[in-house]
């Protein structure tokens, strides 16, 4: 978290002293990182912006700024605001927690958001003109997500059902136990009336059980309370994404049997009528259906669907459909656009979506009448998600060019987007690497792209150590950026005198559905071709030292790194982060078993040979490369038995190896102190094996 924001209620003198001492402690560690000018703490402390939201009238924008809070070992997200032609300013300061899920009231006068300020997550309201935030809900289970009705008189929100008396009684009698696939609480839609006077005056007068006050037996006192909501949906299903119809008469939503991740395969689309509370299913295909939006006239809905595809949708393009509510018929749109389409809005100007385009991204518009697609120009290398004013004339979006950090932009009336933040100033004097997009052909002739990072003083006549960093997914993607990666200090390694290659191997997003399917029943094998061929391509250029090369990655990148550990000997050291070591082990432990069946085309019981072919453990007896293994203790996506299996195999073979478990974490290292530790562990490992440096101790102070 930003130090001055965190200490906003502290004595000003003490605040300056405390922040100064914090900066000294962060700066002091720089010297412990040999040949690197930017400390890991500074890198991890970079603030980021996102979630840009524009008001219905197009005059005001709010967005989130996330900063690192070392004191509480977390990340803090707060709302910032930009009024028309004014400078941005911080809007919220939730002392112990985040402010998120911002939404404007339909009249654009108020900003609402979700925060936990001591009574679980509630909806808070703040005037755009200024003032303090105050709660407008008081729900025992807290609020998951919410949306204003078009006239601003109602709020729809989702929350988890309360724990049943039966469940509580069972715990009291039998203690704690769980049944696989049955541990969940359903979420449903609730409606609350918005009565500003009652909310502002809540608690200003006592509320008695009787209708009389203390001075009269006949005159009832006025009782001001936050309005009580009513439950709109009920039943044996869980509500996902939802939206009010523009006419305010109904709410469209996705529903699935329960909130567990795999039941999204059985999700369907329904509409709840506000007047009758009747819920009608309108789209119910054999595979996933997801509600996206109503049309501006409330007569149609936009949804995404895998239709009847239950076996390949993990790597196929998402399909978009428009459903006519009167006729009950659906038609597919933008079917020839060969990438996943992330819809942002349906307004009078059309249907806007964002999509990856190799290492770039773009915003596009679909004409809802004929389904044709055209680009929406922003002038940015990587425009992100955007929000539109009600008339579609104004947009606020996050995004960046390749040499920037993420910024917030506003475009009004078709003009070029104007940058309103300057978070890139944080790295103004940093010695950031040169980014270059390169291309080569893999073993089977498939064109592969990667991002090559070079030191700022790169000399093509020299030979440099090479470090390969592999993204997760597999449908992730690497793009040029000044301060890249997650727990791998690529910027510092470049400054130390290395090249870093980030490979967009087969299966990566941005290159079309056919490319994403190239590693189906070929996981690990084809990925290895892509990485090794990239190394060979650079070797032919004459500027890498092939005797000093390392490889690393997290999640799917960790799996590919593990595969390289047991199937190649070209690297001097490898780091496996949350990686799969044995597909059978993974299949029976992960929370997304359909992923394995789709990419390998079978279960391990039906086709054990494909599981063996693609598993790193199959060739463990060929392993020779020193390997660091990093894993979260409670990882459900890639469960920890994968880490222990690889570690035991390497240990039994006498291969230098180390297993580091990050206590209390799942699939990602999402706290700054443990992320700092993970970065240091990689820095130590590769510095010893690639640069020949003595293993540095972690700084104790």
**Beta pairing, strands 657-662 & 627-632:** parallel
Task: Tell me the mean pLDDT in the region 27-54.
Answer: 82
Residue 9: predicted pLDDT: 36
Q: Is the pLDDT assigned to residue 212 strictly greater than 90?
A: no
Percent of the chain scoring above 70 in pLDDT: 91
Residue 95: predicted pLDDT: 80
Q: Is the pLDDT assigned to residue 10 strictly greater than 50?
A: no
Task: Tell me the mean pLDDT in the region 684-699.
Answer: 88
DSSP for 643-674, written as a single string: HHHHHHHHHHTT--EEEEEETT--SS--SHHH
Percent of the chain scoring above 90 in pLDDT: 80
Q: Is the pLDDT assigned to residue 23 strictly greater than 50?
A: no
In whole angstroms, give the CA distance from residue 303 to residue 281: 13
pLDDT tens digits for range 590-624: 999 999 999 999 999 999 999 999 999 999 999 99
For 432-689, CATH gives 3.40.50.1820
Nearest-5° Cα angle at 678, 672 to 684: 135
Q: Which of 208-212, 223-227, 530-534 has the highest mean pLDDT?
A: 530-534
Q: Is the pLDDT assigned to residue 307 strictly greater than 50?
A: yes
Residue 171: predicted pLDDT: 78
Q: Is the pLDDT assigned to residue 220 strictly greater than 80?
A: no
3-state secondary structure of 504: strand
Residue 599: predicted pLDDT: 96
Which of 140, 37, 134, 54 minimizes the C-alpha distance to 92?
Answer: 134
Name the residue ranges covered by the structural domains of the chain. 432-689
Least confident of 174-188, 552-566, 649-663, 675-689: 174-188
Higher pLDDT, 226 or 105: 105
pTM of the prediction? Answer: 0.91
Least confident of 88-92, 163-167, 448-452: 163-167
Is 406 in contact with 47 (CB distance < 8 Å)?
no
Expressed in angstroms, the distance from the first to the final Cα of the chain is 20
Task: Tell me the mean pLDDT in the region 666-682.
Answer: 97
Higher pLDDT, 231 or 25: 231
Residue 230: predicted pLDDT: 94
What are residue 42's phi and psi, to 5 degrees?
Answer: -65, -40
pLDDT tens digits for range 565-586: 999 999 999 999 999 999 999 9
In whole angstroms, give the CA distance from residue 352 to residue 338: 16
Residue 507: predicted pLDDT: 97
3-state secondary structure of 222: coil
Task: Tell me the mean pLDDT in the region 375-403.
Answer: 96
CA of residue 121 relative to chain centroid, distance: 20
Rg of the chain, C-alpha, whole Å: 27
176: burial class by Cβ within 10 Å (0-12, 13-18, 19+)?
exposed
Residue 50: predicted pLDDT: 95
Least confident of 8-17, 610-619, 665-674: 8-17
Residue 616: predicted pLDDT: 98
Higher pLDDT, 4 or 381: 381
601: burial class by Cβ within 10 Å (0-12, 13-18, 19+)?
middle
Is 344 in contact with 352 (CB distance < 8 Å)?
yes
Residue 8: predicted pLDDT: 35
Which of 658, 596, 604 minimizes the C-alpha distance to 626?
Answer: 658
Q: Which pLDDT band, with edges at 50, 70 and 90, does 205 fall under?
A: low
Residue 163: predicted pLDDT: 78
What is the 3 state secondary structure string of 179-203?
Answer: CCCCCCCCEEEEEEECCHHHHHCCC
Least confident of 174-188, 271-285, 336-350, 621-635: 174-188
Q: Any idea which residue has 């009513």 for tokens?
A: 230
Q: Is the pLDDT assigned to residue 30 strictly greater than 70?
A: no
CA of residue 432 relative to chain centroid, distance: 25
pLDDT tens digits for range 235-244: 999 999 999 9
Rounded to the nearest integer, the mean pLDDT of the chain is 91
Is 194 in contact with 237 (CB distance < 8 Å)?
no
Which of 340, 413, 344, 339 minimizes the C-alpha distance to 385?
Answer: 344
Q: Is the pLDDT assigned to residue 209 strictly greater than 60?
A: no
Biggest distance spanned by C-alpha atoms of the chain? 97
């Amino acid at each position: 978290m930003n130090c001055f924001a965190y200490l906003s209620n502290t004595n000003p003198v003490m605040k300056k002293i405390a922040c100064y001492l914090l900066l000294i402690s962060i700066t002091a560690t720089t010297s412990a990182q040999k040949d690197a000018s930017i400390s890991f703490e500074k890198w991890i402390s970079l603030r980021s912006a996102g979630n840009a939201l524009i008001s219905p009238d197009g005059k005001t924008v709010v967005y989130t700024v996330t900063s690192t809070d070392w004191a509480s070992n977390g990340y803090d997200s707060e709302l910032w605001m930009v009024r028309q032609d004014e400078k941005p300013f911080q809007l919220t300061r939730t002392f112990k927690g985040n402010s998120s899920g911002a939404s404007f009231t339909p009249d654009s006068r108020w900003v609402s958001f979700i925060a936990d300020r001591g009574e679980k997550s509630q909806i808070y309201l703040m005037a755009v003109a200024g003032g303090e935030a105050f709660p407008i809900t008081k729900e025992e289970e807290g609020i998951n997500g919410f949306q204003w009705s078009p006239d601003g008189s109602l709020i729809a929100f989702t929350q988890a059902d309360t724990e049943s008396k039966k469940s509580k009684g069972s715990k009291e009698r039998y203690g704690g136990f769980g049944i696989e696939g049955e541990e969940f609480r359903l979420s449903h839609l609730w409606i609350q009336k918005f009565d500003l006077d009652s909310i502002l005056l809540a608690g200003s007068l006592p509320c008695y059980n009787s209708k009389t006050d203390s001075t009269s037996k006949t005159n009832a006192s006025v009782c001001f309370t936050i309005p009580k909501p009513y439950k709109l949906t009920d039943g044996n299903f869980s509500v996902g994404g939802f939206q009010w119809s523009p006419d305010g008469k109904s709410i469209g939503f996705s529903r699935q049997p329960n909130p567990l991740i795999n039941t999204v395969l059985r999700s369907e689309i329904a509409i709840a009528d506000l007047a009758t509370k009747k819920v009608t299913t309108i789209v119910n295909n054999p595979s996933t259906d997801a509600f996206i939006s109503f049309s501006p006239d409330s007569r149609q809905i936009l949804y995404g669907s895998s239709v009847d595809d239950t076996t390949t949708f993990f790597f196929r393009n998402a399909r978009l459909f428009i459903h006519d509510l009167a006729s009950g018929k659906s038609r597919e749109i933008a079917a020839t656009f060969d990438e996943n389409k992330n819809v942002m809005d349906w307004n009078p100007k059309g249907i806007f979506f964002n999509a990856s385009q190799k290492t770039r991204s773009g915003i596009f518009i679909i004409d809802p009448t004929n389904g044709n697609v055209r680009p929406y120009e922003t002038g940015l290398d990587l425009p992100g998600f955007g929000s539109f004013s009600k008339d579609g004339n104004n947009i606020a979006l996050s995004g960046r060019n390749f040499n920037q950090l993420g910024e917030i932009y506003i475009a009004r009336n078709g003009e070029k987007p104007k940058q309103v933040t300057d978070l890139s100033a944080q790295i103004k004097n940093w010695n950031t690497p040169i980014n270059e997009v390169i291309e080569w052909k893999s073993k089977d002739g498939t064109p592969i792209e990667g991002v090559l990072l070079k030191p700022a003083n790169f000399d093509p006549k020299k030979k440099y150590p090479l470090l390969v960093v592999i993204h997760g997914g597999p449908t992730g993607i690497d793009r040029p950026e000044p301060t890249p990666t997650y727990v791998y200090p690529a910027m510092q390694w470049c400054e130390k005198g290395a090249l870093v290659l980030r490979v967009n191997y087969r299966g990566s997003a941005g290159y079309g559905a056919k490319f994403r399917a190239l590693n189906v029943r070929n996981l690990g094998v084809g990925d290895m071709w892509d990485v090794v061929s990239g190394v060979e391509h650079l070797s032919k250029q004459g500027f890498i030292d092939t005797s000093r090369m390392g490889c690393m990655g997290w999640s799917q990148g960790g799996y590919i790194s593990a595969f390289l550990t047991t199937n190649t000997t070209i690297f001097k050291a490898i780091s496996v982060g949350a990686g799969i070591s044995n597909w059978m082990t993974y299949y029976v432990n992960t929370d997304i078993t359909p992923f394995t069946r789709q990419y390998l085309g079978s279960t391990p019981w039906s086709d054990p040979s494909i599981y063996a072919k693609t598993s790193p453990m199959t060739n463990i007896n060929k392993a020779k490369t020193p390997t660091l293994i990093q894993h979260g203790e409670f990882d459900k996506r890639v469960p920890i038995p994968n880490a222990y299996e690889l570690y035991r195999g390497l240990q039994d073979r006498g291969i230098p190896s180390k297993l580091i478990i990050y206590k209390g974490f799942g699939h990602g290292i999402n706290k700054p102190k443990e992320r700092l530790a993970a970065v240091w562990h990689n820095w130590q490992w590769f510095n010893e094996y690639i640069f020949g440096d003595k293993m540095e101790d972690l700084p104790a102070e």
